[in-house]
Structures are given as C-alpha cells and as structure tokens.
A and B are shown apart, each in its own frame.
Chain A
Amino acid sequence: MPDAAPAAFPAPAAPAVVSPVLAVRDLSVAVGEGLAVDGLDLSLAAGETHCLVGESGCGKSLTCLALMGLLPAGARCRSAGLTIDGRDWAYRQGRPPPGLAMIYQDATASLDPVMTVGRQIAEALPPDLPARARRREAEALIAQVGLSNPRARFGAYPHELSGGMNQRIAIAMALAGRPRVLLADEPTTALDVTVQAQILDLLLAVQNSTGAALLFVTHDLGVVAQIADRVSVMYCGSIVERAPVATLFAAPRHPYTRGLIDSLPQISRPAARLASIPGRVPAIGARPPGCRFRPRCDRALARCGREAPVLDGTGPRGAVACFNPT
C-alpha cells in the first residue's frame, strides 16, 4: 500500500482543531462489569462533520447518550472530561449540557405522541422567550427544516406526519436550543433512500447556516463518504482509527476499517463476492485480552494477544490503534 493517497481522492489538509467547540477526554461508560465505552477522546471543530462509525455493540450510541447525560438504567458514566466552547462541564445524569442537542434514529418514537409538534419545538426554545415570540420562532424553525405551511404544521401531532417529516421536526427541536454541537444517532437509518438523501441535505444545510459541529453516528460507510470531514472508527468501546474522510477511504490503516470499507456493496463497482469480516463483535464480558479485534483480524501478530494497542496519532496519516497497520 503506497504511503501517498491515490490521486483519485485528493486529500484535503486535515482540519486542525485549534479551539474545539467540543472536547471529550477519557469518556468511559460502564455496563455491568465491563466498559462499553473505554477511555474515548474526541474533539470537534465548529462546522465540522465528524462521523462515528462501527457495528452494533461498539458503543457509538452510548457515547452520544453519555455526552447528553442521558444514559439508560444499567449504564454508568465512569469518567468524562467534557469541554464545550471552552467551558468545562461535569457529567450529570438527566442534565444535557448546554450547547448540545441530539437527534435519534426513530424520530416518531422520540416525540411526545400527545403534544403538538409545534408545542414540542416551542418548549425546547430558551425559557426567557415571551409566548408570542415563542410561537413565531417555532414556526420559523418548522419552515427552516423544509416543511411547508408552518402555521398549520405547528398544530399537527406526530402520528399525523410521516417518519421523514417527524425527523425534520426532531431536527427543528434540536435547533431550538441553538446548539453548538448536534449529535445525530443513525438519524436516517429507518428512512427510505430518497428521504434519507433529503434529511442528509437538510442536516448539512442547517450546519452551514448555524456553524454547529455535527457528530454523526452511523454504520453506513456510504453515508460517511458523502457527508464526513473526519471519521472515527469505533470497535469494542474504543476508537481504533481516526482520519480525514478521503484519507480513510483511500488508505485505511486499521484492518477493521479496511473490512468495513470492503464489505460495503458499491453501486458503481459490483464484485462477485463482498468482502466480509469473519465473526462478530464480542459481548462486553467476552472480550479477548490484548487487541479486541484480534480474533477477527487477518494481520494479527503474537504481540496482539498480549498487549492492547493505543490510538497513536503521531503519524502523518491520521491516528490508528494497531501494531500491524497497513
């Protein structure tokens, strides 16, 4: 594998995160005896789209929920150094940090079924706003997320709208708090492909106009290729590779990243067989010693069974946690 990225994917300079709008240091989430999220570091620049990728059970969703202070029962935040816009924030269960807002996979389920969508948006607006301005703002947000006739939409209930429309409402709610960072957990996975394309466009447009950073959790590398600036690949609770998107696709270094990219069916290049990663993500209690990816890895060394590699960001091609990267 050549060191330089092939010319087909000219790599833009990695956006240096000078003063990150979100900095996460050593985030750990315990589930039972094990760590579902294990010492995760992450920083996002304003306006950056950062994709968090991995299979189910890698800890992607728990990472988002921990950042929001909304961990489910049974999961505990062990440590979290969180800085938002230069201000430190201590983890508090049930208290989302100011400046963060989240969009979920199933928008229809995340909305209150017995409250009009307009009121739900209005409730998410800053509390000091007078009632009339509140309604006006909510209608403006409904228009901003691309729904026509905002005045009529204000009084609609979630069940009267489609999944795609409810995801737009959820985005409007998230925007109501004027977030600096938007967390989106698989927001298009449940949607049809044409609706997915529209929601992705909407998220990027919203990000353009507000300058918010976007942390986008997905398992679909096609979506990553389309929207990401930088990508963090997560496996068994840890980041195993982090790179600008063009670099990651042109020259993946971690065997897991390569497996994920190769197993994605491509519309433009059908292959007789899809590459796949053997085995599956181990349960938290059944993780192997050493590198957690070793049992599924075709490049494992003897050392990989003894020691766990750490994310090394000193090289020129992004950061990788692997003793034998490509």
Chain B
Amino acid sequence: MQQQPLISASGLVRSYRASRAGLLRRGPEVRAVDGVSFAIRAGEAFGLVGESGSGKTTVGRMVSATLRPDAGTVALLGEPFAEPMPLARRAKVQAVFQDSLGALNPRLRIGRQLEEPLIVHGIGAAERRVRIDGLLADVGLPRSLLLRYPGEVSGGQRQRVLLARALALRPDLLVCDEPVSALDVSVQAQVVNLLADLKTRHALTLLFISHDLRVVRHLCDRVAVLFAGRIVESGAVAEVIGSPAHPYTRALIRALPADRPGPRRTAARAIAAAPDLATQDLATQDLAIPDRATPDGAGCAFAARCAAATPTCRRSAPVLRSLSAGHEAACHLVAAR
C-alpha cells in the first residue's frame, strides 16, 4: 500500500484581477493558478519550476497557508487546511522566501526574531535558549549574530537566519520560494548544501520553488513544471530533465546556459535549436508572460509558443497523462507519440 503523502494539493485555483486596464476600469481576471494538484511524500524534496508569472509563488503561498485558494484544497497528512488554522498545525508548515531583507524586521535584533515564533508557541525561556543554540548550529551561524540587526549581515547569512526561524518550530514541511536566487554562486552552493543536509538530518520535506532547473536538479527528488498556472509536466527529476516530454520543458532546458564551454553558439544556431521561442510574435506578448486573458480554458496555453502546435492544441486543453511510472505530461502531441 502506498504511503500517505505528507502534503497534498488538489485542484488549486487562484485568480487575481489585473490592474493594468486603467485607473478606474477594473482589469480582466487572471487565473494565476488554474487547477494544480500534486502530492509530496514525507522526506521528499519536490521542485516546482516555472518562469515569472507561471503561478509558482501563488502555489507556494497556498501550500504554506498564507493565501486561501479560490477552489481546491491543501491537506496535511490527509487532513485539509481549516480556517482559522490551529497554531499547532500552522507550525507544521513553514516558509522561506527570496527577499531575506524584506522578511525580517530591520529594527529587531536577529536573536529576538529567532525567538519570536517560540514565544508565540508558548515555549519557556530555558527551552528557547537551547533551541536557538541548536538552530544556529544547524544553519551554521555564530552566536554573535544574535545581537546584530538584519541590515548588518550578508545576504547569505540572512537567508540562514530565515531558515533557522522557519525551522524553529520543527516543521514537517518547509516551503522555499527562490531561497537562493539572490545569492552569489558560491554562497548559493553553501545554502543548497545546507538544505540538503537539513533534509537528511531532520527528515525535512521540501517544496522548493525555483526558476533555476540547475539547482532543482541537484536538490530535488521530483519536479513539476508550471506554465500559465498549470502543471505541464512532472516526474522524477532525472527523468524530466533527462528526457523531457513537454515542448515547454524542452525549451526551458535548451535555454539553460552551458555547463561547460563548447562550440561557440551563434544566434542563428540557437534560434534553429529553439524554433518555438524564435517564432513567437513579440508584438502581442513577451515570451515569458503567456496570454491568460481568456480563462475559459480553450486550447493549450502553450500553443501560441509551440512550433508543433496543431488545430487540436488550439481547440482543447490537454490534461496530464501518464507516460511512465510517475512521469506525466499535458500535451496532445506527447500522447499521440
């Protein structure tokens, strides 16, 4: 029998009203997340990959119970999030976001900010001191940092402070939204290694949200690729990146910078290699922002960018179909292959 997932999202939908229509006119409704479902097993690192506007941050906020879905549910060990959420349950899911400066109070010493969640959850002073020492050791920060203010320490150290604060309540699930994107590559490697260590040491389950497939490849066990608010492909990381099925996943992988220098890639070569990107009409939309003004669900959202799109793709939206054990893609052409 299959183990019950630690966290499961089913049919998540969340819309925003676009503000750009004008000062007084209300903009059209945009479905940032449009029917996203996934399940993460305990101890697993699950990557959620997509470009700006794909809805990945909105998914992260719904899973970490900081945003209510319009439809769909998130369940922790089979029990759906309720509102208001009991304190003890809220502690089970913690989140770390990209902007470490914005996530900390600039006027409070770091020590105080680490202590706060423990105070809120009624943990005594002696126990708090023990826990904070343990947390500092976990994330590799010196005690002297406790007396500093967030503005006085480096970005990498702040990201560790956020990690420590998120871990303070011993959560089961840690949601990380682009936690390393703002860091230099050497510091990024330190934080990625730290996350991998924490995962092993504390049997932590991770929802790791990122635009960087390279980092996801290193840290995660499974990955879902998000496009225009829907999952277009998911599966084991090695399989999705090694043999991507969806044309969007393939385009994302092709667009990655090289690992090592090879033959000089000229513009012509790169465009020939990525026809689905090159033929996009820049007059209508920028590439990164798919047209979601029509939330009626007609057609595949990627069809406008896809070189292989057929009339079927423009007529009906593909659903996720299983390709092999655990590997799914939402593409009419993949199913036909």
B177-197 vs A, CB cutoff 8 Å, 1 = contact: the mask equals: 000000011111110110010
Query: Which of A148, A191, A225 touches B259 (beta carbons < 8 Å)?
Result: A225
Contact present for B186 and A259 (CB under 8 Å): yes
Q: Is A277 an interface residue (CB 8 A)?
A: yes
B189-215 vs A, CB cutoff 8 Å, 1 = contact: the mask equals: 110110010000000000000011111
Determine the chain A residues whose CB is within 8 A of the CB of B283 once the complex forms: 147-149, 152
Chain B's nearest CB lies how many Å from the CB of A298? 13
Residue of B nearest to A271 (CB): B218
Contact present for A280 and B213 (CB under 8 Å): no
Query: Which of A148, A193, A263 touches B256 (beta carbons < 8 Å)?
Result: A193
Contact present for B287 and A164 (CB under 8 Å): yes
CB-based A-B contact count at 8 angstroms: 153
Determine the chain B residues whose CB is within 8 A of the CB of A228 once the complex forms: 261
Determine the chain B residues whose CB is within 8 A of the CB of A307 once the complex forms: none
Per the bound structure, the CA–CA distance linking A5 and B40 in Å amounts to 44
Determine the chain B residues whose CB is within 8 A of the CB of A260 once the complex forms: 185-186
Q: Is B86 an interface residue (CB 8 A)?
A: no
Determine the chain B residues whose CB is within 8 A of the CB of A220 once the complex forms: 185, 257
Once A265-B192, A265-B217 are accepted as A-B contacts, the answer to whether A198 and B259 lie under 8 Å apart by CB is: no
Contact present for A195 and B286 (CB under 8 Å): yes
Per the bound structure, the CA–CA distance linking A275 and B12 in Å amounts to 37
Query: Which of B156, B214, B262, B266 touches A266 (beta carbons < 8 Å)?
Result: B214
Contact present for A280 and B189 (CB under 8 Å): no
Query: Which of B218, B262, B271 touches A274 (beta carbons < 8 Å)?
Result: B218
Q: Which of B72-80, B143-151, B247-255, B326-334 contacts A (4 or more CB under 8 A)?
A: B247-255
Q: Is B289 an interface residue (CB 8 A)?
A: yes
Once A194-B288, A265-B214 are accepted as A-B contacts, the answer to whether A146 and B282 lie under 8 Å apart by CB is: yes
Q: Is B126 an interface residue (CB 8 A)?
A: no
A241-272 vs B, CB cutoff 8 Å, 1 = contact: the mask equals: 00001100100000000011001111111111
Determine the chain B residues whose CB is within 8 A of the CB of A197 once the complex forms: 254-255, 257, 270, 274, 277
Determine the chain B residues whose CB is within 8 A of the CB of A277 once the complex forms: 186, 189
Chain A's nearest CB lies how many Å from the CB of B148? 14
Residue of A nearest to B284 (CB): A148
Once A164-B288, A267-B241 are accepted as A-B contacts, the answer to whether A192 and B211 lie under 8 Å apart by CB is: yes
Contact present for B277 and A55 (CB under 8 Å): no
Determine the chain A residues whose CB is within 8 A of the CB of B287 once the complex forms: 164, 192, 194-195, 198
Residue of A nearest to B274 (CB): A197
User: Among residues 223 to 244 in chain B, which have CB atoms less than 8 Å away from a CB atom of chain A?
Assistant: 238, 241
Determine the chain A residues whose CB is within 8 A of the CB of B282 once the complex forms: 146-148, 165
Contact present for A196 and B255 (CB under 8 Å): yes
Determine the chain A residues whose CB is within 8 A of the CB of B211 once the complex forms: 192-193
User: Among residues 270 to 288 in chain A, which have CB atoms less than 8 Å away from a CB atom of chain B?
Assistant: 270-277, 280
Q: Is A314 an interface residue (CB 8 A)?
A: no
Residue of A nearest to B269 (CB): A201
Q: Is B281 an interface residue (CB 8 A)?
A: yes
Contact present for A222 and B190 (CB under 8 Å): no
Chain B's nearest CB lies how many Å from the CB of A45? 15
Residue of B nearest to A296 (CB): B186
Contact present for B192 and A274 (CB under 8 Å): yes
Given A197-B257, A267-B213, A280-B154, output 15 extra A-B contacts at Cβ < 8 Å: A162-B289, A208-B266, A208-B267, A225-B259, A226-B265, A263-B189, A264-B185, A264-B189, A264-B259, A265-B212, A267-B214, A267-B241, A269-B259, A273-B196, A276-B186
Contacts from B to A (Cβ < 8 Å): 51-52, 154-156, 184-190, 192-193, 196, 211-215, 217-218, 238, 241, 251-262, 265-267, 270-271, 274, 277, 281-283, 286-289
Contacts from A to B (Cβ < 8 Å): 9, 55-56, 146-149, 152, 161-165, 191-198, 200-202, 204-205, 208, 219-223, 225-228, 245-246, 249, 259-260, 263-277, 280
* 25 pairs of residues in contact across A and B, judged by CB atoms under 8 Å: A55-B185, A55-B186, A147-B282, A162-B289, A194-B251, A194-B252, A194-B277, A194-B288, A197-B254, A197-B277, A201-B270, A202-B267, A204-B265, A208-B266, A222-B257, A226-B258, A249-B261, A259-B186, A265-B214, A265-B217, A266-B259, A274-B218, A275-B189, A276-B190, A280-B156
